[in-house]
Amino acid sequence: MGTTTNSPFFYLLASTSAMSIFALTPDSALAQEAEASAETENRIVVTATKREQDLQDVSLAISAFEGETLADNQINTLEDLQVAVPSLTVGNDFAFAKLYIRGIGLNSSLPGLDPSVALHVDGAVVAQPTQQFASLYDLARVEVLRGPQGTLYGRNATGGSINLITAEPTDYFEGYTRLTVSGEELGIIAEGAVSGPLTDNIQARVSFRHQNRDGFGTHTLTGEDVDDANKIGIRGQLNFDISPAVSNRVIVEYFRENERSRAVKFLGASFPQTVIDGLPAQIAALSSNQPGVSDEDYRDGLLAQIPNLVTLAGPDALLNSRDVGGDLPPIGRLETTSVTNLFEADLGDNFIFRSITNFREGESFLLQDFDISNVRNGIDNALPSTVQVQQVENEQFSQELQFVVDTDRLRGLVGAFYFNDDVSAIVPIGTNPQSAFNRRELLDPFREETNPGPAPAARPDIAQLFPDARVMIPGAMEVEAWALFANFTFDVTDSFRIKAGARYSDESRDIQVDTFLPGAGPGLQLATGMDSRSFSDFTPEVGFELDVGETLLYATYSEGFKSGSAALVDGSPFITNPETIENWEVGLKGTYLDGALNLSIAAFYYEVDGAQFDRTRLISSGPRFVTSVENAATTEGMGVEIEGTAYLTDEFSLGFNGSLYDIEFQDFITDNPLDPLGALEGLAGFTPRTVNLAGNRPRNTPEVSFGLRATYDKDLANGGNITASAAYSYTGDQFYTEFNDPRMAADDYSIVDANLKYTFPNQDLSVNLWVRNLTDEFVVSGAFAVSTSRTITGTYLPPRQYGVTVGYEF
């Protein structure tokens, strides 16, 4: 690759040199105003490496937030978190969480596909994207790890990992309660926790959170709210001190939401009339190239299909609006239950054994109308219905064993991991909406069909559940994975350390997918099939750490692995190739000026092979569309991230973060679902045109983002305290399609948040006035081209919200 100025190695070397110069240059103005005692304050202890470390001592790019910080700033969801973390973007469509770090994330809206950014709760993975919307409440800490975490976190962490660490039971009685009332949507959030000892050796903690809010928009046909909130989460914990060296903690959690949310909004027609008007000229230039077919007959056959391209979105579909039409108001439901067991034994002489056991099950239900119109297709007229139902259910089990070593010169762990996930989904498209709603409970018997099982002829006639559906797609998948891993840091000298790790992963997948066309006859089966594949991968990590004065310098090479995912080709199932990443990273961390400045800078370069993307494109027959998943050839990315806090005085601090990215495809030849000629596939031998996306940016990848948070924290003479903060975040323009179509994109935007909190002299009662998205920015957070209804749809970030939170601690 050489050492030219375009070389990633030159780029990383230059970045490292700049970091070192910056870190070792004193700032006398800050030093004069800072107190020496600050050096031991403002510290956050994290467990990103699966052992406790000071945040500034961890040689990887990580952002961490304590639970009190999240609560004071009304960071209640992962979507809220993205304004505080460089490189993190969070969106959703089809009830799937879309988590992206450094341009890597879930590029699909199909059930059964795995994310590329892992989510862990108390060390246990949450595998399904439909279950990653749980509320952030009663947390000790949130950690966002950027870059591949293949060694310690394994599968599906090619982009990074988000770790939620819940507050533990205490050996003394404590608790809190908070009540939030917010603005025009009449939002109510009630949450609290109580913790303490039950006996000398048993501690307990119970926490809850309930949110209820009117909608941000209206369903224009019925007048009912959309994008409302109705969530409840309950978590119970018991900690058993079996002996002074042995403990066991059991965590049981339940979460439910029942809302008119998650539905997509109308962004535009897939094929506007101007595009349709230009098709004859494009078709006129085509030649048949088929024996016995004249060019004229060939072109006439293609032209005859043009009327089928006209969008089905009705004239009342609202552009750039939080209001939405449809035959029925959207329905978004999610229910999850999780049981986690954390066992730890101190073996003495710097050795610890841990076990993390988790069982999780969940069900997601979505109903939405693709045409975004009040034209009641399939009810009041002969037009086919455009309603989609999607139900996804899964049961997962994971077991992780860790043997931790912490000596004077050697620190790390070895471990083993096992995972099993049974996923079932059923997707009727084009069904009568009232039928879909009334018959949703009939899907329940299929939750047991999570293992690919009997041939379709021996199964119940699934198509008869929704006899009026245009398309019926039931499917099932089983994933089984195991891994062995190790990661260690060795002190060569007092200031120089080497680190090395590796993980061997083995995974198998079995899928079965059927496609029915009920409207064409009783249970007419268009395609069916099963596929099974196994994958294994070795993901190493090597690097070094060097202390230079107050600065930690580090360099790391690491790899990540995401196995092949379920996919369809022409209606038949298959499993794609894996997604892999190689990542080079250098960085520095330090606490300077007697603790007045905490600073982290990271620079990276990566290559991703086989990133997984879905396609829903038009065809000329059958259900008029086909969905598939394919692997991109190569994605190359590089960037610089900065994060830190300056404590300018005893009361005033300034937090800052920023990222600058250059991430693009190097080679990705595919066909565009929004190419209108794709609807002519199969007619007179027509083959869709392909394009090379080399030079395009991946989805959810702004080139520039940064944020500032100013905080004033003052102890008052009466014993009370006042805290005021204001935050500004900027996100550059980004695309929600790898085709970089401006219709599926968000312009750059800025978000301003602020809060003012007063804590009374007794320190147990507080009042917090807050506002989020002060300037009421209207921001597209995700987009999807829905070829079955000829519309482009998307979702939006929340509008301006404001309110008051009253808290009481005891």
Q: How far apart are the C-alpha atoms of 605 and 15, rounded to whole Å?
A: 11
- Tokens representing 508 are 């198998």
DSSP symbols for 756-780: EEEE-TTSSEEEEEEEESTT----E
Residue showing tokens 């064993």 = 401
In the chain, the largest separation of any two C-alpha atoms, in whole Å, equals 95
Q: Could you read off the pLDDT of 292-320 as tens digits, one per residue?
A: 667 677 667 667 666 655 545 566 778 88
Residue 8 has what pLDDT? 40
Residue 373 has what pLDDT? 75
- Tokens representing 622 are 């059958």
SS (H, E, C) 243-305: ECCEEEEEEEEEEEEEECCCCCEEEEECCCHHHHHHHHHHHHCCCCCCCCCCHHHHHHHHHCC
Q: Could you read off the pLDDT of 581-612 as tens digits, one per residue?
A: 999 999 999 999 988 999 999 999 999 998 88
Bridge-based pairing of strands 625-631 and 669-671 is: unpaired
Collapsing DSSP to helix, strand or coil, 671 comes out as strand
Contact between 227 and 334 (Cβ < 8 Å): no
Q: Could you read off the pLDDT of 567-577 as tens digits, one per residue?
A: 655 556 677 88
- Tokens representing 715 are 């102890």
Domains of the chain: 8-272+311-809 (2.40.170.20)
Q: How far apart are the C-alpha atoms of 782 and 582, rounded to whole Å?
A: 27
Q: Could you read off the pLDDT of 186-223 as tens digits, one per residue?
A: 899 999 999 999 999 999 999 999 999 999 999 988 89
Residue showing tokens 């990590």 = 541
Q: How far apart are the C-alpha atoms of 780 and 796, rounded to whole Å?
A: 4
Q: Could you read off the pLDDT of 732-773 as tens digits, one per residue?
A: 999 999 999 999 999 999 999 999 999 999 889 999 999 999
Question: 624 Cβ partners below 8 Å, 6+ apart?
Answer: 308, 618, 679, 787, 788
pLDDT for 459 beyond 50: no
Q: Could you read off the pLDDT of 609-626 as tens digits, one per residue?
A: 988 887 776 666 655 666
Question: 469 Cβ partners below 8 Å, 6+ apart?
Answer: 385, 428, 429, 430, 431, 463, 516, 518, 519
Please give the average per-residue pLDDT across 103-109, as a whole number. 85
pLDDT for 685 beyond 60: no
Q: Could you read off the pLDDT of 478-537 as tens digits, one per residue?
A: 899 999 999 999 999 999 999 999 999 999 988 877 776 665 544 445 556 677 889 999
Residue 22 has what pLDDT? 39
Q: How far apart are the C-alpha atoms of 254 and 243, rounded to whole Å?
A: 30
Contact between 419 and 397 (Cβ < 8 Å): yes
Q: Could you read off the pLDDT of 626-644 as tens digits, one per residue?
A: 677 788 778 999 999 999 9
User: pTM, whole model, 2 decimals?
Assistant: 0.87
Please give the average per-residue pLDDT across 794-798, as a whole number. 89
Residue 40 has what pLDDT? 45
Instruction: Tell me what the pLDDT averaged over the chain comes to.
Output: 82
Predicted confidence band of residue 59 (pLDDT cuts 50, 70, 90): confident
For residue 235, which of 252, 257, 211 has the smallest C-alpha distance?
252
Q: How far apart are the C-alpha atoms of 237 and 198, rounded to whole Å?
A: 12
Count of CB atoms situated within 10 Å of the CB of 635: 27
Kindly calculate the radius of gyration of the chain based on its CA atoms and give it in whole angstroms: 27
Residue 787 has what pLDDT? 57
Residue 379 has what pLDDT? 55
